[in-house]
Structure 1
Amino acid sequence: MMEEHHIEGFDAPSFFTLHDYDASGAWTPDEVRKTYGLDDESNSGVSKSRKESAIRSVFDLFDPTNRGSISRDDWLKAVSAGTRLPDLGFGPGHHGDIEYEYEIHHFEKYHGDDATEEELTHPEDIEHFRQHDEMEAAQMRLEKLERMQVVEANIPSKFRRAL
């Protein structure tokens, strides 16, 4: 959690704002869930009750009045008193797009800004570029369909003329 979120590089107000995904001024259980990456495929084997318990433990630390949300003020008070987000054993957390996740979890750790394409040979690099290839192919298919006047595959079979 500490590594992925670069917690040491943020002051408490900035960290709060960055993880207040809907800019409401409060963290909801869904935002804590997202921050910890509980819906990421890397945590698909974790039980629902364990995930709910993890969210409760964060709220126990930062929602002293049990409102069901963590206000910016509650966050700042707790952090200034020395309270920190706990590492709950779910890994580094995943809540960005594939570029952000790759950059944070792999590239920063194993490669430098001067890395050449030839050096990107780790399994994680290969998987990342495979995902890019799939997205590019899907985009090309979509563009081809959009250029067609009629997309035959979208016509129900009962309306198609037998040839």
Structure 2
Amino acid sequence: MVNRLICLVAGVIALGSGLANAHGSHSSDDQPQSDDWATRHMMEEHHIEGFDAPSFFTMHDYDSSGVWTTDEVRQTYGMDDESNNGVSESRKTEAIRQVFDLFDRDNTGFISRDAWLKAVAEGVRLPDLGFGPGHHGDLEYEYEIHHFEKFHGEDATEEELTHPEDIEHFRLHDELEDAQMRLDQLEQMQVVVGNIPAKFRRN
């Protein structure tokens, strides 16, 4: 029973990740590929127009290690977002290799900050690999950036949050909270030894 509930929670969370990408129109996903993908990414996913190479690197160095790993490049491009579920793993691996070919010229297996800055100074840019603008935020972030900020604003009241995206977002919140409460209750229940099949009991 506990395992089933854990699976339910995981499923709802996975649904949330996909649902987050439904907030707002996301019509920009259909835009033509760009030679300056980083600028598109920063504008659409972070609402930042002015940035430099060091700040871009730091923002996407998710573990603050000073290097980009293959997983971090994958995350930045939003390859695990629901919108890219139909893309094969081999295509994603090839896309990551393309980025590393541009910025990891010494074949170290990671992209250092210095290597990034050097390549950018030489005019190298992150390519548009066809994965959209790089949806890599959680449920809350994607809802805020792609719907709430566009259609509501900081002064919005709860009564004004009536768009289908708002209703679905808060419905999902309720489902997550209910599932977590049921899981917490199950974890607090004592084990009834009599319910354990004899073959699994200690003698």
Q: TM over 0.5, yes or no? A: yes
Aligned: 1:156 with 2:196: yes
- Name the structure 2 match of 1:113: 154
Q: Distance in 2 between matches of 1:51 and 1:7?
A: 26
Question: Does the 8 Å CA contact 1:62/1:78 hold for their aligned counterparts?
Answer: yes
- Name the structure 2 match of 1:48: 89
Question: Does the 8 Å CA contact 1:7/1:15 hold for their aligned counterparts?
Answer: no
- Name the structure 1 match of 2:75: 34
Q: Distance in 2 between matches of 1:70 and 1:63?
A: 5
Which of 161, 164, 172 is matched with 1:123 structurally? 164
Which of 26, 49, 61 is matched with 2:102 structurally? 61
Question: Unaligned stretches of 5+ in structure 1?
Answer: none
Aligned residues: 157
- Change beyond 3 A, Cα 1:58–1:134: same
Aligned: 1:140 with 2:175: no
Once the two structures are TM-superposed, the CA of residue 92 in structure 1 deviates from its matched residue by 2.5
Question: Unaligned stretches of 5+ in structure 2?
Answer: 1-40
- Name the structure 1 match of 2:119: 78
Corresponding letter in the other structure for 1:88: L
Which of 92, 96, 113 is matched with 2:137 structurally? 96
Runs of 4+ in 1 over 6 A off after TM superposition: none
Q: Helix, strand or coil: the match of 2:63?
A: coil
Identical pairs, percent? 77
TM-score by length of structure 1 reads 0.80
